[in-house]
Amino acid sequence: MIRPYAYPPLVSVGSSSTSGVNMTKFSVVAISMLIFWMTAGAAAAGPAEFSYIEISNPFLRKIPIAIPLFKSTTQSPQEIQTARECADMLSESLEFTGYFKILDRAAFLEDPQKTGIVASAIKYRNWTAVGAELLVTGGIFVKDDFMEIELRLLDTFKEKLIYGRKYKASLKAQRQIILRFCDEVIFMLTGNRGIFESKIAFVSTGTGNKEIYICDFDGHNPQQYTHDKSISLFPAWSSDGQWMAYTSYSRGKPDIFIHHLHERRGVIVNKKGLGIAPSWMPGKFQLAATLSYSGDQEIYLLTGDGKIIKRLTNSRGIDVEPNWSPDGKRFAFTSKRSGTPQIYIKEIDTNRVERLTYEGRYNTQPCWSPKGDRIAYSGMNNGQNQIFTIDLDRKSPVQLTTDDQGDSEAPSWSPDGSLIVFSTTREGPSRIYVMTAYGTDQRRLLALPGEQTTPRWSPSGLSN
């Protein structure tokens, strides 16, 4: 049975439901704060010429980058403070990617406050002398609640402007501005769009129940999404970022809830038995999920309105945790058809099924990389769950987390494929961590009351 469902608005962490912020209103306000943005200086070249970062390189060398405090136009206290906040935010956001080594400002030989920010005014030897290969300069003007900020990315060795842009907006929009510029920086250096307009959904027990929360890509601005006062699990983003599907026990058994993220509408798929682990099909208003109304746990294809299209698996062992390939032609899933949980791949057109994992007796939670070349999953090793990736050509698994740091589970790729978010008990209670796609730079994303588990990264291009 499919039931329409209306749900309460989002609330900020620590706020009561009466003071919450509706996600629809929040997005509109965020957009309205950005009055307009315009090009101040054309990029010196396209991303093809400036191939600084090869994101598929597992031995990636971090590029030393200098980000001095931005130049204040009027030297007013508010302007100086805003300039520092923006420079610090830009440093933190670029460092988060794992591509850069942020240089210590105390070592700088030149102060853009005195020399200016345009390319012709910069003494590049002062920056190469401190090891900077890239330089970001900024100038800012603040009046009342309005700001103008000009940002430039420069190559210190070639003494060239790579990219420059001027933004005009409300002061409240400074985070959106900085993240927009960071996204352009990554595009110019890699040829790929970054992660700065993406979000992460996860489960937290901070209220005493398992509820789904949503935060920005770097853990900022966590907000409670569900208010079921029960158990909510397995958040899943649609490929356009407009819909969220998840499992909830709020009606006494596990049912699949499908919500529009910005509008108060959705459905509940509450057939007999359980409904768990939904996964949206790329580019379509369809999703796969595990249902047990026929007796065994099998994977079905549903419309976004919750209607069953067809059954996708049929075996004696349970089939759960579907996850689609980027082209939507195959899906990975966990099955016990061989006796122990292992990961399989099924082709939709041919119905061909291939077993993917053979090492280890307990492999679950597959997640397909955005490029389609690897699958991340959770595998048991020495009695603990760890994160692995497996190359689909070579079929060789690589362990990314270590056995001496607790359980690590539920991997999910960033939309550009450069990072993996996961949950881990290395601190005791389960926390959300992030690492590069090759297992380096493992660090905590955020810490809230209770435990945080099963993160899922959204597509890119969502409003901040």
Residue with tokens 């093809």: 48
Same domain membership, residue 419 and residue 284: yes
β-partners of residue 290 are 276, 299
Q: Rounded to whole angstroms, how far apart are CA atoms 259 and 261?
A: 6
Specify the pLDDT at position 296.
87
Residue 317 maps to which CATH number?
A: 2.120.10.30
Provide, rounded to the nearest whole percent, the portion of the chain with pLDDT above 70: 87
User: Same domain for 216 and 363?
Assistant: yes
Model pTM score: 0.88
pLDDT at 71: 92
Position 46 scores a pLDDT of 58
Whether 250 is covered by a domain: the verdict is: yes
Does 273 lie in the same domain as 388?
A: yes
Q: What is the CATH number of the domain that holds 113?
A: 3.40.50.10070
pLDDT at residue 199, as a whole number: 97
Residues 45 and 148 in one domain: yes
Tell me, yes or no, whether 18 lies in a domain. Answer: no
Is residue 277 within 8 Å of 320, Cβ to Cβ?
Answer: yes
Q: What is the pLDDT of residue 47?
A: 55
Domain-ending residue, one of 158, 190, 222: 190
Residues 246 and 109 in one domain: no
> Is 102 in contact with 169 (CB distance < 8 Å)?
no
Note whether residue 378 is domain-resident. yes
User: Last residue of a domain, which of 190, 214, 247?
Assistant: 190
Domains in the chain, number: 2
Q: Is residue 354 part of a domain?
A: yes
What is the spatial distance between Cα 427 and Cα 408, in angstroms, rounded to a whole number? 11
- Please tell me whether residues 102 and 203 are part of one structural domain: no
> What HEC string does 234-246 produce?
EEEECCCCCEEEE
In a domain, 388, yes or no: yes
- For the chain, 464 residues long, give each residue's pLDDT as a single digit of tens: 444 444 333 333 333 333 333 333 333 333 334 433 443 344 445 554 556 777 667 677 899 999 999 999 999 999 999 999 999 999 999 999 999 999 999 999 988 777 766 667 889 999 999 999 999 999 999 998 999 999 999 999 999 999 999 999 999 999 999 999 999 999 999 888 889 999 999 999 999 999 999 999 999 999 999 999 999 999 999 999 999 999 999 999 999 999 999 998 999 998 998 999 999 999 999 999 999 988 889 999 999 999 999 999 998 889 999 999 999 999 999 999 999 999 999 999 999 999 999 999 999 999 999 999 999 999 998 889 999 999 999 889 999 999 888 999 999 999 999 999 999 999 999 999 999 999 999 999 998 999 999 999 999 877 54
What pLDDT is stored for residue 55 in this prediction? 67
Same domain for 390 and 277, yes or no, is: yes
The answer to whether residue 7 sits within a structural domain is no
Predicted pLDDT at 345 = 98
Report the C-alpha gap between 30 and 145 in whole angstroms.
Answer: 15
**285 and 409: one domain?**
yes
380, 365 in Cβ contact below 8 A?
no
What DSSP assignment string belongs to 135-181? EEEEEEEEETTEEEEEEEEEETTTTEEEEEEEEEEEGGGHHHHHHHH
- Indicate whether 249 and 293 sit together in one domain: yes
Same domain, 291 and 378: yes
- 448 assigned to some structural domain: yes
Asked whether residue 12 is domain-assigned, the answer is no
Q: Residue 148 belongs to what domain range?
A: 34-190
In this structure, the answer to whether residues 155 and 228 fall within a common structural domain is no
* Domain end among 190, 221, 250: 190
Q: Domain check: are 229 and 350 in the same one?
A: yes
